[in-house]
Amino acid sequence: MAPDFTLKDQDQKEVSLSSFRGKKNVVLAFYPLDWSPVCTGENKCLTDDFPKFDGLNAVVLGISTDSFFSHKAWADALGLKHTLLADFNREVVKKYGLYFEPLNCGKRATVIVDKHGRVAYVKVQEIKVARDDKDILEALKKLHYKDILEALKKLH
């Protein structure tokens, strides 16, 4: 099972990973810092692909060690559609083994948690290299088709 957590989003609302269990697949998009060039570009891409994620029964949660105040200003400035979670105390990045000590922040990584709460995909990237949404979407398609097959088996 994926380690559960509760963090505040850019609107200071608490979001728990476990709240999606049984409902949605969750893309945990860990990134180092708001306002940095690579993080800005990749979060814009996540927003551009928002309908694709939604169509695959997935929700995207961006996670960095910035404050929810920074997340709010950044999300508003960029028009981001996905939720940004503030791991200000670095508890979640440490729980997932993604703490990057040289910059006191999280590594750039993608973790997909399936709707049953299991880790289904993990990719850790070089801190200066943006993630590729195509890889994430392919992994989500596999989960989506698996869910469809399971549902069809229950009908027979």
Token pair, residue 21, equals 């269990």
In the set 17, 26, 29, 39, the catalytic residue is 39
Is 105 annotated in the active site? no
Give Cα separations from 27 to 57, 63, 73, 112 (angstroms). 11, 10, 22, 5
Long-range contacts of 122-129 (CB under 8 A, 24+ apart): 124/98, 127/32, 127/100, 127/103, 128/38, 129/38
Q: Please tell me what DSSP assigns to residue 140.
A: H
For every residue of 27-49, which 3-state class applies, written as one string?
A: EEEECCCCCCHHHHHHHHHHHHC
Continuous H helices in the chain: 37-48, 50-55, 68-78, 91-95, 133-155
Residues assigned a catalytic role: 39
